Amino acid sequence: MALTYKEIAEILKIVDASACDEVILELKGTKLVIRRGAQTSTGSGALSTQDTDNSQSGSSLNTNFQSSADTPKLAPKSLASSLTAEGSNTVHSPMVGTFYRRPSPEEEPFVREGDTIVAGQPLCLIEVMKLYTTIEATISGTVASVVADDGQLVEFDQPLFVIKPK
Amino acid sequence: MQSINIPAAYNLVSLKKVSSTNEVAKTMAEKGEEAAPDGTLIWALEQTAGRGRRGRNWYSPAGNLFTSLILRPEVPAVRMPELGFVAALAVCDALDSLSEPGHQVQLKWPNDILLNGKKVAGFLLETERTSSEQNIQWIVLGMGLNVSWHPEDTQYPATSLRFEEWPTTVEQALEAYTRTFLGWETRWLNDGFLPIRNNWLIRCKGINEEIEVRLGHENLIGVFTDLDENGALVLKQSNSTRKITTGDVFFPDVLHSELA
């Protein structure tokens, strides 16, 4: 069972506000380990998930929760995360900016959950200082989830989409 | 069209009427460097579907200047937003070179150009990449300058050169812009963003003054204290300092005229 970025962020908030030093959550196919005080490159805490089903090799997902002043705090700064998701590919934001799912507010989203996509297909726009960057898919597959919200400020390396490869 | 005298660095593609010069430029850029090398400059006399920020209509009658420049700079993708400031400086200097006495040309974050406090020109930059690429293949720098006409119904007050009684023609504006852009782009490529930032700060409106920044979901009021090393607007509020990367800036004089 894959956890979404939002669900992990919620769990991180709860754990960080608690007195727990370690939380281990085991779901079908996923093991989530959150440990306060572990050494990471971005903070003093650590979060990891592991596939408990080894039938497929997972891809690595690293999330940087470092937060700039104008960005809503998605999770405590003290926690960093790394996630190995089962058989899926996560599209991360290559820059800080505003995430748009639509070419313009009146138009349909580039992609929706469940859509089949091909490599090179536009997925979203990221705006920074009136520069609009179209982010294209690197692989063909299915949009498993749209992780970021339309119009949301996103950080470098923040997950935007989860793609299930073809 | 009369002959145009622009720097040899640019290949001018002159068109009469297009949907949008950015659309034409993006289509050309995607065909590759051979089809559209660095410096390919699309110029149209009229646009039928000119665009501004977030799909806003850009007023595009014949008589105004509409250009899109295809660039392929060897600069990391993460630095591409700097190009908007480079281009804004170029238009600012182009207008200064054409200026009539007694007029004021200023910059409004991030890359609007104000003439006597009203918007006279703006940019829309577009590129594409995958999330893992460190470099881009192309960037399109779209610019619209109100030479003869300006819209009356915009969120931020607009003007045109003719309304301000400048006798400048579209062709003169295009020539001046290409000259000044070449100079500023060369400076940026050679010396980085610091001189661009410093010069932008000298020419901008509202520094160390209270401004309003309209984000999609909220409006922020604070003192515009600086431009950071990446071009973000630094806004000091009573209890915090925020760095703004996206939004529309308004000044108190404009807000007061809105209320009047």
Q: Exposed (0-12), middle (13-18) or buried (19+): which is A10, by Cβ within 10 Å?
A: middle
List the single residue in B110, B139, B241 with the smallest CB-CB distance to A129: B110
Q: Is the peptide bond before B252 cis (omega within 30 degrees of 0)?
A: no
Please tell me the predicted confidence (pLDDT) of residue A19.
61
Please tell me the predicted confidence (pLDDT) of residue A131.
97
β-strands B210-214, B248-250: how paired? Answer: antiparallel
Does A94 contact B231 at a Cβ distance shorter than 8 Å? no
A66–chain B Cβ distance below 8 A for any pair: no
Please tell me the predicted confidence (pLDDT) of residue B252.
87
Interior/surface letters B113-125, b for 16+ CB within 10 angstroms, e for the rest: bbbeebbbbbbbb
Tokens linked to B229: 């090393």
Residues B170 and B70: their CA atoms lie apart, in Å, by: 20
Does B244 contact A98 at a Cβ distance shorter than 8 Å? no
Q: Which residues of B touch A69 (CB under 8 A)?
A: 240-243
List the single residue in A69, A107, A133 with the smallest CB-CB distance to B128: A133
List the single residue in B85, B122, B245 with the smallest CB-CB distance to A128: B245
pLDDT tens over chain A, length 166 residues = 566 666 766 666 666 666 666 666 666 656 565 655 443 333 333 333 333 333 333 333 333 333 333 433 333 332 323 333 456 899 999 999 999 999 988 899 999 999 999 999 999 999 999 999 999 999 999 999 999 999 999 999 999 999 999 8
Q: Are A130 and A58 in contact (CB under 8 A)?
A: no
Q: Are A88 and A163 in contact (CB under 8 A)?
A: yes
pLDDT < 50: residue spans in chain B: 259-260
B121 closest CA partner among B76, B78, B168: B168
For residue B197, how many C-alpha atoms fall within 13 Å in the half-sphere facing its CB? Answer: 16
**Those residues with Cβ within 8 angstroms of residue B154's Cβ, 6 or more apart along the chain or in another chain:** B59, B119
Residues B65 and B90: their CA atoms lie apart, in Å, by: 15
Domains of chain B listed by start with CATH number: 11-203 (3.30.930.10), 210-259 (2.30.30.100)
Domains of chain A listed by start with CATH number: 5-64 (no CATH), 75-165 (2.40.50.100)
Give the residue from A129, A154, A157, A161 with the most B CB atoms within 10 Å of its CB, the best one to mutate: A129
pLDDT single digits (tens) A44-59: 333 333 333 333 333 3
pLDDT single digits (tens) B119-172: 999 999 999 998 888 899 999 999 999 999 999 988 899 999 999 999 999 999
Q: Are B210 and B252 in contact (CB under 8 A)?
A: yes
Please tell me the predicted confidence (pLDDT) of residue B26.
96
Please tell me the predicted confidence (pLDDT) of residue A28.
61
Q: Are B161 and B63 in contact (CB under 8 A)?
A: no
pTM: 0.79
ipTM: 0.94
Q: Which residues of B touch A105 (CB under 8 A)?
A: 54-55
**Coil, strand or helix at A99:** strand
Q: Are B71 and B123 in contact (CB under 8 A)?
A: no
